């Protein structure tokens, strides 16, 4: 079994996989040693761990893995991956983007894929049918856009997304809502349409905290997978076994 960790800006997600089957899934706001230790103890068949983190990793984590006889890896473009990285600066490529791309390629093998992560940032990445990570786009995520309008101006309010999004706003709150949400929808749909004109049989998969909210408003057909990064980390560990 594999133990994988996706430590993002908002949440720390941990999961235990038995081959491709997700057995345990947990969410934490911060690192909690007791919780991770309990997960390892209740799943004695874990042999390897792979972590993808955008935050500082506590010093006790690799020590805990060593004490539990679990092989510990930190995700890097230098590891044997099930995809080929075509990024000009792979050392600067976000680890979560690598994991999401691996998860997308594992979900749709042999297909051209757009992998979208709608989290703190919005990333739109292309993986071709031969497993080549061609690159992608990074822009502010939805809540970052709301927050920036509030923090970088003197008078605009800080608002939350709403179920009803008008085409145009008739007051300041609605105008911000329409501008941010509709702008994101246009950006995502147009990116998909442009890539679809160049790559045949394009599959689109979306993850991230805002994926359910945004996907329901897109014109393009989207497959939502909330555990895409975790699935990708597990796919990378499974690839280790093939490589060895």
Over residues 232-242, the mean pLDDT reads: 87
The continuous run of DSSP H or E covering 114 comes out as: strand 112-118
Indicate the average pLDDT of the chain: 94
For residue 244, pLDDT beyond 80: no
Arithmetic mean of pLDDT, 27-51 = 95
Asked whether the predicted pLDDT for residue 200 surpasses 90, the reply is no
Q: How does pLDDT run across 87-129, given as a tens digit for each residue?
A: 999 999 999 999 999 999 999 999 999 999 999 999 999 999 9
| Whether the model pTM is above 0.85 | yes
How many angstroms separate the CA atoms of 180 and 41, rounded? 45
Catalytic residue IDs: 96
Count of helix runs (H) and strand runs (E) in the chain: 8, 11
Indicate the domain borders of the chain. Answer: 1-74, 87-244
What are the residues facing 53 on neighbouring strands? 7
> What pLDDT is stored for residue 167 in this prediction?
95
- CATH superfamily name and code, 1-74: ATPase, nucleotide binding domain (3.30.420.40)
Q: For domain 87-244, give the CATH number.
A: 3.30.420.40
**Residue range 127-175, pLDDT digits in tens:** 999 999 999 999 999 999 999 999 999 999 999 999 999 999 999 999 9
Domains 1-74 and 87-244 share a fold: yes
Confidence of residue 240 (pLDDT cuts 50, 70, 90): confident
């Amino acid at each position: 079994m594999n133990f994988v960790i996706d430590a993002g800006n908002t949440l720390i997600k941990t999961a235990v996989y038995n081959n491709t089957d997700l057995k345990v899934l947990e969410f934490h706001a911060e690192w909690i040693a007791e919780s991770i230790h309990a997960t390892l103890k209740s799943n004695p068949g874990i042999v390897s761990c792979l972590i993808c983190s955008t935050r500082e990793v506590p010093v006790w984590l690799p020590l805990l893995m060593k004490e539990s006889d679990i092989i510990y890896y930190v995700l890097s473009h230098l590891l044997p991956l099930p995809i080929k990285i075509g990024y000009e600066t792979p050392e600067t490529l976000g680890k979560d983007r690598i994991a999401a791309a691996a998860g997308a390629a594992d979900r749709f093998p042999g297909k051209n894929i757009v992998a979208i992560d709608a989290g703190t940032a919005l990333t739109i990445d292309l993986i071709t049918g031969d497993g080549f990570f061609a690159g992608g786009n990074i822009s502010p995520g939805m809540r970052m856009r709301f927050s920036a309008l509030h923090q970088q101006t003197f008078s605009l309010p800080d608002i939350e997304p709403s179920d009803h999004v008008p085409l145009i706003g008739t007051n300041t709150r609605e105008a911000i809502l329409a501008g941010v949400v509709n702008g994101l929808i246009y950006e995502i749909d147009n990116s998909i349409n442009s890539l679809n004109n160049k790559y045949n049989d394009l599959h689109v998969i979306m993850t991230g905290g805002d994926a359910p909210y945004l996907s329901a408003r897109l014109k393009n057909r989207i497959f939502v997978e909330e555990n895409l990064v975790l699935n990708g980390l597990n796919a990378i560990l499974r690839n280790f076994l093939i490589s060895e």
